[in-house]
């Protein structure tokens, strides 16, 4: 039961972070605007998400395959390249 709550919290955090990254990409590419302290906000969001991912991976310590999959997903999800690629393919 506790593991399912942790997975649900991870999924919710992932979705919120995804929306956050999508907004940053849209603001930059679509409107050409820059937000104040944007680099600081992006770095803080990235570090918090990775911290959460590493703590989730630690919970899966006995299941190394799950921990590696979770870590890979987290690194891809927080990648600017992935979000730029997605945004450009949505436009075309």
Within a domain: 70: yes
Question: Is 71 among the domain residues?
Answer: yes
User: In this structure, is residue 22 part of a structural domain?
Assistant: no
Distance, in Å, from the CA atom of 3 to the CA atom of 28, rounded to the nearest integer, reads: 38
Domain of 61, in residue numbers: 44-92
| Cα–Cα distance measured from residue 72 to residue 38, given in angstroms and rounded to the nearest whole number | 25
Whether 61 has a pLDDT exceeding 70, the answer reads no
In-domain check, residue 77: yes
* pTM, two decimal places: 0.56
Tokens 């703590």 — which residue? 55
Task: List all residues 6 or more positions away from 37 whose beta carbon is below 8 Å from its beta carbon.
Answer: none
How many domains, in total, are found in the chain? 1
Question: What is the pLDDT at residue 9?
Answer: 75
Two tokens at 70? 């979770």
Question: Mind listing the pLDDT tens digit for each residue in 8-37?
Answer: 777 787 778 778 777 777 777 778 777 677
């Amino acid at each position: 039961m506790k593991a399912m709550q942790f997975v649900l919290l991870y999924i919710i955090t992932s979705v919120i972070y995804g929306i956050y990254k999508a907004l940053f990409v849209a603001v930059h590419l679509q409107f050409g605007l820059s937000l104040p302290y944007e680099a600081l906000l992006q770095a803080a969001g990235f570090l918090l998400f990775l911290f959460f991912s590493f703590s989730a991976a630690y919970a899966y310590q006995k299941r190394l395959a799950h921990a590696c999959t979770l870590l890979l997903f987290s690194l891809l999800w927080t990648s600017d390249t992935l979000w730029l690629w997605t945004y450009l393919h949505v436009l075309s």
